[in-house]
């Protein structure tokens, strides 16, 4: 799925691959210390709001024993900054769905961290 936006200059198409790469880079920051990963089949939802700002939703798996909320916030802040650098606007919302916790194996979880 791609994100398409009509402007007076024509159509702008942004592939979900762009968002996927940005999210993976954020998850691989040294500050994350290999404690968070993009979920197996990356389900990335992106859409433009009426104000022209993008909202993102994606799923991750975190390492057992890590502070989930602060780790998700760190990744969301990095993703927001990269989007701002590329588009000139901060996202209106980033929702991080924690779908699993990894210890010896991955245990399913269902948790959302929303950053606005």
CATH code: domain of residue 11: 3.30.70
pLDDT at 107 > cutoff 80: no
CB neighbourhood size of 41 (10 A): 6
Number of domains in the chain: 1
Residue 10 is predicted with a pLDDT of 84
Cα–Cα dist 87/108, whole Å: 35
Q: 45: domain range? A: 2-115
Q: What's the predicted TM-score (pTM) here? A: 0.80
Average pLDDT of the residues of the chain: 84
Q: What is the pLDDT of residues 55-69, one digit of tens each?
A: 999 999 999 889 999
Q: What is the pLDDT of residues 28-56, one digit of tens each?
A: 999 988 899 988 776 788 888 877 788 99
Going along 8-92, which residue ranges are E strands?
Answer: 10-15, 36-38, 45-48, 54-63
Cα–Cα dist 61/39, whole Å: 6
């Amino acid at each position: 799925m791609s994100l398409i936006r009509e402007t007076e200059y024509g159509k702008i198409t942004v592939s979900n691959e762009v968002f996927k790469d940005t999210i993976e880079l954020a998850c691989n920051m040294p500050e994350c210390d290999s404690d968070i990963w993009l979920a197996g089949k990356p389900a990335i939802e992106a859409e433009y709001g009426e104000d022209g700002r993008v909202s993102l939703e994606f799923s991750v798996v975190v390492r057992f024993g890590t502070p989930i909320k602060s780790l998700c916030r760190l990744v969301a802040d990095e993703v927001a900054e990269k989007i701002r650098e590329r588009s000139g606007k901060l996202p209106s919302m980033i929702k991080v769905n924690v779908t699993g916790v990894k210890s010896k194996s991955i245990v399913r979880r269902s948790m959302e961290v929303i950053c606005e």
